[in-house]
A and B are shown apart, each in its own frame.
Chain A
Amino acid sequence: MMSFLQKLFGRLANPSKRKKALLIVSGLCITAGWSINLLGNSAGLFNTLMIMSALVAEVEIARRAWQGLKNRHTNIDLLVTIAATGGIAIGVYWEAAAVTTLFLLGGWLEAQTMGKTRNTLRDLISMAPDTALVVENNKLLELPAGEVKEGMLVLIKPGSQIPVDGIVESGTTTVDESAITGEPIPAEKKPGSDVYAGTINQNGSIRVRARNAGSDTTLAKIIRRVEEAQDEKAPTQRFIEQFAQWYTPGIVGLSIASYLFTRDLELALTLLVIGCPGALVISTPISIISGIGNAAKKGILIKGGEYLENAGKVSAVALDKTGTLTLGKPKLTEFICLQREKVGAGIAEVQQSDDEISVVSASDLERQGWPDEVTELLYWAGIAESTSEHPLAGAILSEMPDSLDLPQADYFKSHTGLGIEAAYKDNQILVGNAKFLKQRAVPIAEDFNGELEQLASLGRTTVLVARNGMLIGGIGLADPVRPEAREMVQKLKDSGIEQVAMLTGDRQSTARAVAAETGIMEIHAGILPEEKNDFIRRMKEKGKQVAMIGDGINDAPALATADIGIAMGAAGTDVAIETADIALMSDKLLNIPESLMVSKMTLRNIRQNIVIALITVAALLGGVFMGSIHMAAGMLIHELSVMIVILNGMRLRML
């Protein structure tokens, strides 16, 4: 009979189909057996059908057990094979059939549900189209996406997926980048913007100069990174697998011992059936795959189970200021103007006077238009700054009105930490801090100094402008705080983080202004990157589990020292994706509390699963020894516990 069945099912080479077919046949035998049993009282036929069912299901199980033995390891399949064969031998046919069929059914259901969880990422993989339209000599060529070379020009039509990473060469559009950043709001793209494979072009046609294709794209790196993270075993998982290594042989020993002691073969076989640590070994992996997969969909890349466990225990958070709490791009906030008589347009001599100083805010001016004093201030500052690469220069230049045509400076010299001196025709221009102007003997009125101090207390950086030895005004700049920073800090506190600290190399006054705006109580300003590192080490020594959040490049040492290093805005910066424990693909600050929350929930989920698994094992052992659980029920409860653990883990996909 065995050889006949093997011949029949040997044709079913596809293991998935074979398992399904065997499962259906053995299930049908059981159903038929019980139906006949209900209709008449044919014990012979009932037993035959049950034996058939057990043997059909055992074909697959015994095959795997034998392969395991050949490879010199005992596995669950071996335990089930011994139990079922033993069951048939001692005449408990229904129990033997139930054990094997339930075992196959459980395995099939587990593969299905695990497959669903694994598919979270497969959605991402399918975001990348297979082909790309390449423009070559004014002709369109359809190439496999992976074969597009760097520098090729790719046409992307509206509504289609972008096949490569690259830079927009012509055309404007909006692009749905949720696959990369998790950000649902489409991003505007114009010539010079970066685009990523796997994102969706919405309304415009664009041409993109390819940079990376195939497995070198950001999307491929994300997928690889997430998969490595999911496969990396968390400490709990390693511990459990070690436990399982002696648990199964332990149960076999217990089974033999109990037979020698009680001479009850069925009891011994039942012990074998419940000896599979199924729910326990799957408790951690299922939660971690779900948790990491779900986070990836939101643009949060967690490096692995170990980091997820650490992030779930965070009790203190240290934040970098520039570029993390703030946008990292200074903007003009105020102009300090010196009143003067209007003489013509623009470039007139300033009549210096001590009591005619006015401070106007840049946001007010945006509504009212620029007065001449401000235009003039920007004009002279602009000539000097246009050759500078200082970030403040960029901020000043970006605010230049289009109507203002800036001439090239004839002479230019930068003084690090002070400012810039420049010459244009017969004008000597100085742009810099108060110290710089004082060094050059430019008189600064008492009232003007007062205004500077006032602005400094608001956290502004000030730049003074002088022409031909006379002060003509000042510009206040600030790096705006991200709008969601306050909510983020509040969420961290709400989630039970005891300590939220800001670490910055910037001045105390600026740091204090940002702290006031975000609700952070603890400030460490004017510190060097090494001092940030020391600070985190001290926090760890005090027994805190510390998360450090920064931009991933300047803060790299502190990110590495912290228990969890979180890098912001990682899309496009490979370094951050590779090195940070958690990389946030977008600049969305709220993803910081979100990532800690996902970690915490995953950690909790793992614990729930372990508790479910251990309680089941204990209850089963107790039940077996008290004689209230036999083979069939033992297998049913065991498989049910595995399913409960898997379903519980899958809840994390819905966070």
Chain B
Amino acid sequence: MKTTLRSNDLSCPTCVNNIESNLNQTNGISGAKVHFNTGRIEVEHNPETISKEKLVELVRQSGYEAKISQF
């Protein structure tokens, strides 16, 4: 499934790399894309292996706060 997170915390375009790499190296995530301009983080993941809340936690570990969004 695809989950959209939104972060108001992204301050420079290069910080995107860390979040993307951390997400992409996690089991259960098949693809993650961070859009710096809008602060959208799109994650393609298997909800049985990794929950939406865990995604928020992973972004936190990369140093940025994010919230789950409807669209």
Contact = CB atoms under 8 A, between A and B. Distances in A.
A368 interface: no
B20 to A, nearest CB: 9
A282 B21 contact: no
A68 B18 contact: yes
Interface stretch (A12-20, A352-360, A415-423): A12-20
A118 B39 contact: yes
A230 interface: yes
Contacts of A282: 12-13
Contact of B9 (A111, A121, A244): A111
A214 B36 CA distance: 25
Given A111-B10, A115-B8, A231 B40 contact: yes
Interface stretch (A59-67, A169-177, A383-391, A606-614): A59-67
A438 interface: no
Interface in A275-289: 278, 281-282, 285, 288-289
Interface string A288-312: 1100000000000000000000000
B13 A281 contact: yes
Contacts of B27: none
Given A15-B60, A16-B65, A64 B15 contact: yes
A67 B62 contact: yes
B63 A241 contact: no
A64 B11 CA distance: 13
Contacts of A244: 14
Contacts of B15: 64, 75
A67 B13 contact: no
B35 A231 contact: yes
Contacts of A67: 18, 22, 62-63
Contacts of B17: 68, 71, 73, 75
Contacts, number: 88
Contacts of B8: 111, 114-115, 118
A300 to B, nearest CB: 18
A281 B63 contact: no
Interface in A222-262: 223-224, 227, 230-231, 241, 244
A186 interface: no
A244 B60 CA distance: 26
A227 B10 contact: no
A282 B62 CA distance: 21
A15 B64 CA distance: 5
A76 B14 CA distance: 8
A13 B63 contact: no
A146 interface: yes
Interface in B18-67: 18, 21-22, 25, 35-40, 60, 62-65
A248 to B, nearest CB: 9
A215 B65 CA distance: 24
A278 B12 CA distance: 7
A75 B37 CA distance: 19
Nearest to B13: A281
Contact of A76 (B10, B12, B63, B70): B12
A395 interface: no
Given A14-B60, A241-B13, A288 B37 contact: yes
Contacts of B21: 71, 73
B63 A285 contact: no
A71 B18 contact: yes
A220 interface: yes
Interface in A110-124: 110-111, 114-115, 118, 121
A121 B69 CA distance: 14
B11 A107 contact: yes
A644 to B, nearest CB: 15
A370 B64 CA distance: 73
A398 to B, nearest CB: 41
B63 A110 contact: no
A9 interface: no
Interface in A596-655: none
B37 A15 contact: no
A535 interface: no
A108 B25 CA distance: 27
B32 to A, nearest CB: 12
A111 B21 CA distance: 21
A71 B39 CA distance: 21
Nearest to A76: B14
A473 to B, nearest CB: 58
Interface in A68-101: 68, 71, 73, 75-76
A343 B60 CA distance: 90
Contact of A71 (B22, B35, B36): B22
Nearest to A118: B39
A15 B22 contact: no
Given A16-B65, A75-B18, A227 B40 contact: yes
A180 B14 CA distance: 34
Contacts of B63: 15, 60, 63-64, 67
A200 B11 CA distance: 34
Tell me which of B12, B35, B65 has the highest count of chain A C-beta atoms within 10 A of its own C-beta: B12
B69 to A, nearest CB: 9
30 contacts: A13-B60, A15-B63, A15-B65, A64-B18, A64-B62, A67-B18, A68-B17, A68-B18, A71-B18, A73-B17, A73-B21, A75-B14, A76-B12, A76-B14, A106-B11, A107-B11, A108-B11, A111-B11, A118-B38, A118-B39, A121-B38, A146-B70, A215-B70, A227-B40, A230-B37, A230-B38, A231-B35, A231-B37, A285-B36, A285-B37
Interface of A: 13-16, 60, 63-64, 67-68, 71, 73, 75-76, 106-108, 110-111, 114-115, 118, 121, 146, 214-215, 220, 223-224, 227, 230-231, 241, 244, 278, 281-282, 285, 288-289
Interface of B: 8-15, 17-18, 21-22, 25, 35-40, 60, 62-65, 70-71
Given A13-B60, A230-B38, 11 more contacts: A14-B60, A14-B65, A15-B60, A71-B21, A114-B8, A118-B38, A121-B38, A215-B71, A230-B37, A231-B40, A244-B14
Q: Which 4 residue pairs of A and B lie closest in terms of their CB atoms, listed nearest first?
A: A71-B21, A231-B35, A110-B11, A111-B11
